Structure 1
Amino acid sequence: MASKASLLLALSLLFTACLARQRQQQQNQCQLRNIEALEPYDIIQAEAGVTEIWDANNQLFQCAGVDFIRHRIQPGGLLLPSYVNTPILAFIERGRGVHGVILPGCPETYEYSQDQQFSGQGERRGQEFQFQDRHQKVEDLNQGDLVAIPTGAAHWVHNDGDTELVVVVFFDTQNYENQLDEYHRAPGNTQAQSQQQQGRRQSQQQQQGRPRIQGRGQGRQFQNSSNIFDGFDVEYIAEAFNVDRETAEKLQGQRDQRGHIVNVQQGLQIIRPQQSRRGSSGRFDPRQERQQHQGRRGSGGWSNGFEETFCSLKLKENIENPSHADFVNPQAGKIANLNSFKFPILKHLQLSAERGELQRNAIQSPHWTINAHNLLYVTEGTLRVQIVDNEGNSVFDNELREGQVVVIPQNFAVIKKAKEQGARWVSFKTNDNAMIANLAGRVSAISSLPVDVVANSYQMSREDAQKLKFSQRETVLFNPGYRSQGRAST
């Protein structure tokens, strides 16, 4: 009995030590002395587009437990079906298309009628047979759409427009559903993952220093996009699908050199409902959205949250819908948040997103995110961003240009100011109801403190404390001309 107790005690101590060491390693990853803007460090080229990859080994990404890529799909291009070990948020930055997400166990509800059957030749039996296509639902993609994809769900994207389709993809690698490691892993991306792990080993051998800006790689041309069937015996595949060997070999794609984005020659012949498209600008049409919402609600009023089952999950929401705007200042800009209250699937994914816009020289109140890390990606214009850690040290003070990314860790304070041409961005956050606390403005930490607490905390007179509390009467988005107008009137 004594030996068993000693063994249990030893195992308990070993487990505790391992857990403490793991937590210490994670904490060390977030002890950032300097933050820098990040750009793609490599490009994977395919027949009908490219994928730009950010460095998953970067200390910022390791701290936040996230990963990020950008697909550029040419007109007619098809991003091949794949699945990953993390939840995904994908934002349609530009262009239009169609996509499908395959939810395991759900029925194929898109199908032709019995009168629209097709005939084909059954080579195995030498007999003619009939079949009708059916598949799970597909949806249109437009600029501003945010697509939520559960962990492990297979998905694909097709550009059926006449311009480039740009999709930025956010992976939450430290999500509780990821049981592997800190990388996202997808069939067909094994070479990129191998390079990421090699880079991680190299970075571990180097002294831990400040993160560096990652330069754009030269790219790799038309590499064989390995798929999950490639590792199985061809005879087993033929037997499992009840097809001949030649078809099984095509499924493995051993001689397919097109890459992970391929050309569709004559358009995809898929079953889809008739839907009106957005205008040529791709901007949101509120009248169209009202009609769609009315059609969904019917006469039953608002949803109470119980009607949505796993197979009827709403996977897409347009974050540029005016009804999602949480803060609007016509002279400064607007901010819209998509959280689990507006987009219920985000509760399961434990993620949320923000779409922000600042007019020229406008400022967003300095603030910190209470319960989430934040990955900020600039889609238009230039932002001047300052980030301060919890000890009051400046860790980032620079401009973010279009296409650049910066990671803002939890509790780090940030202030944003647009340059002359204004700026727009999208942020991905690691909490389904990410909350911010403002430092300035009408609803902020400073304005909510008693005057005497402010005066004594910052060694100022009571009169100056009152000015500090009440001079800024705007809430979150500050008009650039507000201060000059205030000075002129005094």
Structure 2
Amino acid sequence: MEFHLQPQKADTTVFEGEGGGYYAWTPPKTPVVEEAVIGAGRLVLQPQGFALPHYADASKIGYVIQGRCTVGLILADKDKPEEKVVIINEGDAIPVKIGSISWWYNGGDSDVSIIFLGESSQSHSRGQFDYFFLSGAIGILRGLSTEFVSKMYGLSGEQSKELVESQSNALVVKIGATIHLPQESNCKQEEYIISSLGVGVEMTSPLVDEVGLTPKLVRLEADTMLDPYYSMAHQIMYVTKGGGRIQMVGLNGARVLDEVVEEGHLIFVPKFFLAAFMATHKGFEFFCVSTSPRALSMHVGGKSSAYKALSSSVLEAALNVSPEFVKSFKSGI
């Protein structure tokens, strides 16, 4: 399958208001999200910004680019619903399983920015995360009649209308001074978040097993290079800081991408395609999510290179070079 691999910044403002906004990559402008059945979105919460309780039709992993955020979670696979509250900080990753209810609140005095990456094979809208809200202008209760709502919750007709219609805003609102949302964790943080995601290390844990995705943070110093590699799973990457150059090789040894990328770009690397990254003088950092809980990879450069592992005689025959060249080549890896 041929993919549109051009790096892209968020192409659509889904919502923007006083409390913050949500920005997405969509199939019409970023075709690869539909082609590869992935999804990506960025949530920005201003101080006192509150993302209304919702669930989604896709599993994803959120990575905190900036700030500190309070998150409420109700997991979909529990017999008795129970709200878990966790605090996530810059550099933390939080897996959000398909169908689980969550809300997000910025109780600080500076903006919070979170990037969400995942797969969208079960989404109603291929290539996007579809959200269903428990309240607000597009809340799910607005689709039910007053008679149904009254019967469900034991309310009068007027009370039912108040329940459904009082919150007239959508997606993100700004909380007034009279409401004090939780700002402390009520559970073991490590059961729900991955704190201080290790640089260059793909995380394996019950958390990533449940969502079926693997997060990794990659950081390159100025003017350095990441050893070229290929992965056995699709990879979605978001440039969090700095920038650099990426080259990608696909079928039949063809270079399919050679681009300069910068902060805010979304990059997609198809499984088994060779990817090589080179940082600028500002360095290069990106958050990466693989569409598998056990994303194996193989390096073809650096000390872990497959070329280094091959026998000298095998390389001599495969490359059609002299023994002296092979010796020089392997010693330089």
TM over 0.5: yes
User: How far has the Cα of 1:87 moved from its partner?
Assistant: 1.0
Please list, as runs of the form range in 1=range in 2, the aligned pairs for 1:65-464 lying within 5 A after superposition.
65-104=37-76, 105=78, 107=80, 136-174=83-121, 178=122, 180=124, 182=126, 183-188=128-133, 225-253=137-165, 256-266=167-177, 268-270=179-181, 273=184, 314-320=191-197, 324-325=198-199, 335-339=200-204, 343-369=205-231, 371-464=232-325
User: How far has the Cα of 1:188 moved from its partner?
Assistant: 4.8
The amino acid of 2:225's aligned partner reads: I
Per-residue CA deviations over 1:294-324 (Å, capped at 9, x if unaligned) read: xx7xxxxxxxxxxxxxxx992211243xxx4
Q: For the residues of structure 1 that align with 2:11 and 2:183, how far apart are their CA atoms?
A: 37
Q: For the residues of structure 1 that align with 2:117 and 2:64, how far apart are their CA atoms?
A: 12
Q: Which residue of 2 aligns with 1:220?
A: none
Q: For the residues of structure 1 that align with 2:178 and 2:39, how far apart are their CA atoms?
A: 32
Q: For the residues of structure 1 that align with 2:178 and 2:100, how far apart are their CA atoms?
A: 24
Instruction: Give yes or no for contact 2:225–2:279 (8 Å, CA) kept in 1.
Output: yes
Instruction: Give yes or no for contact 1:382–1:402 (8 Å, CA) kept in 2.
Output: yes
Instruction: Give yes or no for contact 1:319–1:336 (8 Å, CA) kept in 2.
Output: no
Instruction: Give yes or no for contact 2:69–2:112 (8 Å, CA) kept in 1.
Output: yes
Instruction: Give yes or no for contact 2:87–2:183 (8 Å, CA) kept in 1.
Output: no
Instruction: Give yes or no for contact 2:70–2:183 (8 Å, CA) kept in 1.
Output: no
Instruction: Give yes or no for contact 1:45–1:259 (8 Å, CA) kept in 2.
Output: no
Instruction: Give yes or no for contact 2:56–2:130 (8 Å, CA) kept in 1.
Output: yes
Instruction: Give yes or no for contact 2:217–2:287 (8 Å, CA) kept in 1.
Output: yes
Query: Rg bigger for which structure?
Result: 1
Change (3 A) 1:454 1:238: same
Instruction: Give yes or no for contact 1:91–1:169 (8 Å, CA) kept in 2.
Output: yes
Unaligned runs of 5+ in 2: none
Change (3 A) 1:444 1:184: same
User: How far has the Cα of 1:239 moved from its partner?
Assistant: 2.1
Look up the SS of the partner of 2:104 in the other structure.
strand
The amino acid of 2:16's aligned partner reads: Q
Q: For the residues of structure 2 that align with 1:258 and 1:47, how far apart are their CA atoms?
A: 10
Pair 1:38-2:19 in alignment: no
Q: For the residues of structure 1 that align with 2:132 and 2:26, how far apart are their CA atoms?
A: 19
User: How far has the Cα of 1:107 moved from its partner?
Assistant: 4.7
Change (3 A) 1:411 1:259: same
User: How far has the Cα of 1:246 moved from its partner?
Assistant: 3.0
The structure carrying a bigger strand percent of its residues is 2
The amino acid of 1:338's aligned partner reads: M
Change (3 A) 1:374 1:443: same
Q: For the residues of structure 2 that align with 1:258 and 1:180, how far apart are their CA atoms?
A: 24
Per-residue CA deviations over 1:93-134 (Å, capped at 9, x if unaligned) read: 1011100111244557xxxxxxxxxxxxxxxxxxxxxxxxxx
- Greater RCO (CA < 8 Å, at least 6 residues apart): 2
Look up the SS of the partner of 1:169 in the other structure.
strand
Q: For the residues of structure 1 that align with 2:242 and 2:179, how far apart are their CA atoms?
A: 35
Per-residue CA deviations over 1:394-422 (Å, capped at 9, x if unaligned) read: 11111111001110000110111110011
Q: For the residues of structure 1 that align with 2:195 and 2:109, how far apart are their CA atoms?
A: 21
The amino acid of 1:424's aligned partner reads: E
Q: For the residues of structure 1 that align with 2:151 and 2:268, how far apart are their CA atoms?
A: 48
Instruction: Tell me the percent identity.
Output: 20
User: How far has the Cα of 1:166 moved from its partner?
Assistant: 0.4
Change (3 A) 1:266 1:98: same
Q: RMSD over aligned Cα, in angstroms?
A: 2.4
Normalised to the residue count of structure 2, the TM-score between the two structures is: 0.91
Change (3 A) 1:397 1:68: same
Look up the SS of the partner of 1:83 in the other structure.
strand
Runs of 4+ in structure 1 off by over 4 angstroms are 270-275
Number of matched residues? 328
Look up the SS of the partner of 1:56 in the other structure.
coil
Per-residue CA deviations over 1:146-176 (Å, capped at 9, x if unaligned) read: 11111111111000111111011123112xx
User: How far has the Cα of 1:63 moved from its partner?
Assistant: 3.0
The structure carrying a bigger helix percent of its residues is 1
Change (3 A) 1:447 1:274: closer
Instruction: Give yes or no for contact 1:319–1:355 (8 Å, CA) kept in 2.
Output: no
Per-residue CA deviations over 1:270-291 (Å, capped at 9, x if unaligned) read: 456579xxxxxxxxxxxxxxxx
Normalised to the residue count of structure 1, the TM-score between the two structures is: 0.63
